[in-house]
């Protein structure tokens, strides 16, 4: 798998523009997709090169450019579920942050800030609104940080970034892989496509609290023995030991809830989402994302951005597009991502945006982890 295009002249310190050619994955990650299945694409081990014009010379950009990254300071961005009525208020005190909401209104066609601040909650919680709201508020939080004493120095020190599900788009925007506007257009379409996919089948998500991943898998297997194929369930979010989200058909979700106590789960929490995210139920959204990504300029990120699909950083724009399209049907490998960051020596991290979900996960994995919340 390779891509070679001649691109605009850029500095070596700037992100490289990527190919905007259309693509379709030849391998569909099925319902029981797992991280090891990703190797069928060769994404994790791919040596994808792309010609980039730098002055008068062509430089090859390897997809594994960031493979041996050594993290010291990280920005972590939240995903859907972090939204709360009242977010965005702090951003209005910082002109650059407030400006992002104004720019967003032109793209979205409605007053995003009004929904963020005033709700109602049911409206803000909808997939089509919460995803753009979190994306904009999280990037506004970067501007809030930039405006405080020493903030720019903190931003300049960040050498790795990632985000939970939707937050991966925010991380890519922060890393310069695409513009704020292009990222928002993608996030808007992503929310709409995921909502439409959810409307097409009765499905949902539930958090299982108090079990390790092996026990949660056994719980899913037991539930799947009692339901038909259309109601199967699987682990969709590998967050951290003791906190995993299961997605699938409603009857399967109900079976998981009914059996959870017999597997010694502390509790289950039905998630307020439209449907079975990060499973094959989201397959109808993939082609729409592929088409939108194909027409979006994506550049090599200036710092590593860790993918939710395989917990690896990717440098090749074509590969990034392919991964983002498949992210909605693939389990989120957040636990592996955070473990890798910590094991590689991460010293300080910041959660930027609404909520404190990510900080809670990081602290659960390492009580001594140094993480700071930056809201907007």
- Pick from 128, 80, 121, 94: nearest CA to 353: 80
Instruction: Give the distance, in angstroms, between the CA of residue 12 and the centroid of all CA atoms in the same chain.
Output: 27
Whole-Å CA distances, 250 to 163, 191, 227, 255, 296: 27, 21, 10, 9, 35
Q: What share of residues in the chain are helix, strand, coil (percent, to 5)?
A: 45, 15, 40
- Give catalytic status of residue 165 as yes or no: yes
Which entry of 73, 165, 247, 307 is annotated as an active-site residue? 165
CA distance 81 to 163: 13
Residue 214 and residue 335 in contact, taking contact as beta carbons nearer than 8 Å: no
- Give catalytic status of residue 314 as yes or no: no
Which entry of 3, 130, 203, 278 is annotated as an active-site residue? 278
Q: Write 106-111 long-range contacts (CB < 8 A, 24+).
A: 107/181, 107/184, 107/185, 107/188, 108/132, 108/184, 108/188
Give the list of residues 6+ apart from residue 19 with CB closer than 8 angstroms, or none: 3, 5, 50, 317, 318
Instruction: Give the distance, in angstroms, between the CA of residue 72 and the centroid of all CA atoms in the same chain.
Output: 21
**Residues designated as active site:** 165, 278
């Amino acid at each position: 798998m390779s891509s070679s295009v001649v691109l605009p002249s850029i500095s070596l310190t700037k992100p490289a523009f990527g190919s905007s050619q259309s693509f379709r994955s030849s391998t569909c990650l099925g319902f029981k997709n797992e991280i090891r299945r990703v190797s069928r694409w060769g994404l994790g081990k791919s040596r994808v090169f792309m010609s980039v014009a730098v002055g008068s010379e062509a430089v090859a950009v390897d997809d594994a450019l960031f493979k041996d990254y050594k993290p010291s300071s990280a920005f972590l961005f939240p995903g859907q579920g972090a939204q709360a009525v009242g977010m965005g208020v702090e951003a209005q005190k910082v002109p650059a942050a407030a400006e992002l909401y104004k720019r967003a209104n032109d793209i979205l066609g409605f007053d995003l800030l009004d929904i963020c601040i005033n709700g109602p909650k049911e409206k803000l919680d909808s997939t089509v609104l919460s995803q753009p709201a979190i994306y904009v508020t999280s990037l506004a939080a970067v501007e809030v940080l930039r405006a405080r004493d020493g903030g720019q120095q903190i931003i300049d020190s960040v050498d790795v970034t990632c985000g939970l599900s939707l937050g991966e788009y925010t991380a890519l925007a922060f890393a310069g892989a695409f513009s704020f506007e292009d990222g928002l257009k993608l996030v808007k379409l992503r929310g709409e496509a995921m909502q439409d996919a959810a409307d097409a089948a009765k499905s949902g998500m539930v958090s299982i609290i108090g079990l390790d991943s092996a026990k949660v898998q056994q719980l899913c297997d037991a539930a799947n023995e009692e339901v038909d194929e259309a109601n199967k369930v699987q682990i969709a979010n590998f967050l951290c030991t003791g906190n995993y989200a299961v997605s699938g058909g409603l009857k399967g979700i109900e079976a998981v809830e009914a059996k959870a106590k017999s597997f010694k789960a502390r509790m289950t929490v039905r998630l307020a989402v439209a449907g079975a995210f990060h499973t094959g139920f989201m397959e109808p959204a993939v082609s729409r994302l592929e088409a939108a990504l194909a027409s979006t300029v994506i550049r090599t990120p200036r710092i590593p951005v860790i993918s939710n699909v395989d917990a690896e950083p990717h440098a090749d724009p074509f590969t990034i597009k392919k991964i983002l399209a498949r992210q909605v049907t693939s389990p989120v490998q957040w636990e592996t991502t955070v473990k890798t960051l910590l094991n590689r020596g991460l010293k300080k991290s910041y959660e930027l945006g609404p909520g404190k979900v990510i900080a809670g996960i990081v602290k659960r994995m390492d009580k001594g982890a140094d993480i700071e919340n930056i809201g907007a």
